[in-house]
Amino acid sequence: MLSDIRAHMAEFGEWNRKGAALSEVTAEKEYGVTRDFIVKGIQAGKLEYRDGAVWGNPYLRVLRSQLELYIVAQLGSEYLVSKKSQTELRAISKEIADLRKKLAALEARKTSLEREIKT
The pairs formed by 21-30 with CB atoms below 8 angstroms and a separation of 24 or more are 21/50, 21/61, 21/62, 21/63, 21/64, 22/61, 22/62, 22/64, 22/67, 23/52, 23/59, 23/60, 23/61, 24/59, 24/60, 24/61, 24/62, 25/59, 27/62, 27/67, 29/87, 30/83, 30/84, 30/87
| Residue 10 pLDDT class (50, 70, 90 cuts) | low
This prediction's pTM: 0.76
pLDDT at 1: 44
3 pLDDT exceeds 50?
Answer: no
pLDDT given for residue 39 in this prediction: 95
Cross-strand bridge partners of residue 51 = 60
pLDDT tens-digit series, residues 53-100: 899 999 999 999 999 999 999 999 999 999 999 999 999 999 999 999
